[in-house]
């Protein structure tokens, strides 16, 4: 299979690989297609259930009970988790 991407999407793919989120172009495209498939399989009931599950967290944030976080720290932890998962496979 051969695909063509706009320059903007091709750059996005390169950035994901450079950031260490994916090993190569194939992983980026496969991940995107899996996400699309999963989104299309969500039902109204699924979305309602998700909204019910996150409602307490949203209410907590609205009361000012949220904790601060650092995006760089989060990215670092996610990259380490991805590396661990890749090594396990």
Domain extents in the chain = 7-88
Q: Is this model's pTM higher than 0.75 or not?
A: no
pLDDT confidence band for 45 (50 / 70 / 90): very high
Number of H helices, E strands in the chain: 4, 0
Neighbour count for residue 32 (Cβ, 10 Å):
15
Question: How confident is the model at residue 66, as a pLDDT?
Answer: 87
Tokens representing residue 10 in the block = 């091709």
């Amino acid at each position: 299979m051969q695909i063509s991407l706009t320059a903007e999407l091709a750059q996005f793919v390169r950035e994901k690989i450079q950031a260490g989120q994916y090993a190569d172009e194939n992983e980026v495209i496969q991940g995107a297609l899996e996400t699309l498939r999963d989104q299309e399989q969500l039902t109204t009931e699924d979305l309602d259930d998700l909204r019910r599950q996150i409602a307490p967290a949203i209410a907590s944030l609205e009361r000012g009970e949220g904790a601060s976080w650092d995006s760089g720290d989060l990215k670092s932890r996610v990259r380490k988790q991805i590396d661990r998962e890749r090594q396990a496979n």
